[in-house]
Amino acid sequence: MQVPVLDINGKQVQTIDLPAEIFEARINKGLMHQAYVRQMANARLGTHKVKRRGEVKVTTAKMYRQKGTGRARHGAHNATQFVGGGRPMGPRPRDYTQDMPKKMRRAAIRSALSALMADGQLVFVDSLTINAPKTKDMKRILTALVGDNSSLVLVGERNENVQRSVNNLADAKTLLASYLNIRDLLRYDKVIVPLDALDVIKRIWGQES
């Protein structure tokens, strides 16, 4: 598959061939959904907790006398119906981690890249560099490349100027190409792929191991 490569002004400068095993893989929506749910679940801390009745520290004195008040008989302040009492069925600490075989995780990434390619959401750039962290200049570059669409900018390696400039924008984010994940790939309207980031993608996601 041949695709155009743009410069930072949005002008086509060349065409390149993309590996079919990454960008023309079978699109499996169910697999992508499973990978997304797994990623979101694994990000949960699971530290939520409420105190049960036995964990609330209150006085053990009887609330009021047994008879003669016209009210129900109560002897414990930690009962669930009272303010400050224990909660009957609240969340407890738990592990939300989900497992997924490596081959399935890799297939999900290839499926996502192929889906983005088929929908025209991938934008390839020959080079994305900037001399200093300038949000205004980066906004101009992204507008030339993707218009008003939200964008995920992949970088082959850490670039302080590019990353700081992009991350200052509300509708854009940078991501190292080696950290590709389902959530970020599917979250934005466009994914900008410089050629150095494409080399990283080929090296990591092109091999079957």
Nearest to 96 by CA among 161, 151, 172, 41: 41
How large is the average pLDDT for residues 47-61?
92
Task: Calculate the alpha carbon distances from 82 to 19, 79, 90 in Å.
Answer: 65, 6, 15
Summarize pLDDT for 170-183 with one digit per residue, the tens.
999 999 999 999 99
At residue 18, φ and ψ (nearest 5 deg) are -105, 140
DSSP string, 45-62: --------GGG-----S-
pLDDT at residue number 208 = 62
Dihedral sign for Cα atoms in the order 73, 75, 78, 79: negative
Quote the pTM value: 0.84
> Is-contact 148 57, C-beta < 8 A?
no
Is the pLDDT assigned to residue 199 strictly greater than 60?
yes
User: pLDDT tens-digit profile of 66-104?
Assistant: 999 999 999 899 999 999 899 998 899 999 999 999 999
Query: Which residues is 182 bridged to in the sheet?
Result: none
